[in-house]
Amino acid sequence: MDTIEQLIVCGGCNAKIGPGNLGELLADLPKSQDENLLVGFDSTDDAAVIKLRDDLAIIQTLDFFPTMVNDPYLFGKIAAANALSDVYAMGGEVLSALNIVAFPEEKDLAILKEILRGGAEKVLEAGAILAGGHSIHDHSVKYGLSVTGTIDPNRIYQNNTCQAGDHLVLTKPLGVSIITVGYSAGEISEAGFVKATDSMQTLNKYAMDIIRTYEIHGCTDVTGFGLAGHLAEMLNEQFSAEIQSKQLPYFEEAYAGAKEFILTAGGQRNRNYMEEKMNFVVDDFAIEELLFDPQTSGGLLVSVPADQVEALVKELQAAGIPAQDFGVVTERGKKDITVF
């Protein structure tokens, strides 16, 4: 069967509109006012949460993007895992999903079938219902999901509720966009590419099943704005953070690629937005690029009390989740993030 003819290196969350531009776009839009809207777009959180009753709320989110791999089945799995992740980042359970499809009229529909097969498998793995969807013709392939989840209104994890003294845990390695771009250019090995795609298609469900058994102050998933951008959202201009670069989880192939100046468009957008907010004590350009690198279906970024972080990381690692305690939330300083 034919596959997508050309790997689109700007695909995945690398195609996301930059945080600065997006903030300007949303700033003046009319905002819904409803006592049952517990989380909306004004908080830059991962998804919307609407209260149905005192013990039940629904989570609504959607995500889709162009392909970043040339295997349609793999693309479907990655795109679905990425879309489902927003529900897990809020601490919820996935209830149902709808397909979002853009597909060129002249392309072989067998390719689309493989994309949808990959997506359907991930929805089923999440224990959810795939209930339909919507498709249009477009000049490029795009796929994702609109997802509905459920949560107790009293147990919502938000992305901007960390506390000073919290430790920062990340559950997946950084560098997937550097790897997919480098692989398309023949500069990253097949083995490195497989490591990245295995990570991207892994549901954050398994990490959240463990995380929710601890006292969590804040949680988000790391996607298009990179670790630096999503951490800045978590700090919410109320706190700062210190990162220990030697404790960051990242793919060695991505670090080596960044050393060779394999860069991404999304990473440079993130750098332009975040650079003035950061203090790099460590002199390592590759580390900088890893922090700015857009993550497709990235890991969960968790803010957890210091007295619980060791047990949390140990349990995650025992479950095969490559989590690392890489930093700490501090009182507000001159910069959002300092990297040692």
Residue 135 annotated in ligand binding:
yes
All structural domains of the chain with their residue ranges: 12-155, 167-339
What pLDDT does residue 338 have? Answer: 97
Burial class (CB in 10 A: 0-12, 13-18, 19+), 217: middle
At 38 the pLDDT is 80
Catalytic residue ranges? 13
86 is in an annotated binding site: yes
For range 191-212, the mean pLDDT: 97
* Residue 36 pLDDT exceeds 60: yes
pLDDT (average), residues 97-105: 95
Q: Does residue 7 have a pLDDT over 70?
A: no
pLDDT tens by residue, 165-191: 999 999 999 999 999 999 988 999 999
Residue 214: how many other CB atoms lie within 10 Å: 16
Grade residue 223 by pLDDT with cuts at 50, 70 and 90: very high
Mean per-residue pLDDT over the chain, rounded:
90
Q: Tell me which of 50-54, 65-69, 287-291, 302-306 is least confident.
A: 65-69
pLDDT at 214: 97
Do residues 261 and 309 lie in contact, with contact meaning Cβ atoms separated by under 8 Å? no
In the prediction, which pLDDT does 46 show? 65
Q: How far is CA 305 from CA 29, 92, 130, 211, 244, in A?
A: 36, 21, 37, 12, 17
> Which of the four pLDDT bands, split at 50, 70 and 90, describes residue 22?
low
16 is in an annotated binding site: yes
Poorest-confidence range of 38-42, 57-61, 68-72?
38-42
- % the chain with pLDDT above 70: 89
Q: Is 45 annotated as a binding residue?
A: yes
Give the architecture-level CATH label for domain 167-339. Answer: Alpha-Beta Complex (3.90)
∠321-326-328 over CA atoms, to 5°?
Answer: 130
- Residue 35: its pLDDT value, please? 82
133 annotated binding-site participant: yes
Alpha-carbon distances, residue 114 vs 66, 81, 120, 136, 141 (angstroms): 15, 15, 10, 17, 12
Fold of 12-155: 60s Ribosomal Protein L30; Chain: A; (3.30.1330)
**Which band of pLDDT confidence, cut at 50, 70 and 90, is reported for residue 34?**
confident
Mean pLDDT score, 31-45: 71
Query: Does the annotation list 134 as a binding residue?
Result: yes
Q: Is 221 annotated as a binding residue?
A: yes
* 3-state helix vs strand vs coil in the chain, percent to 5: 40, 25, 35
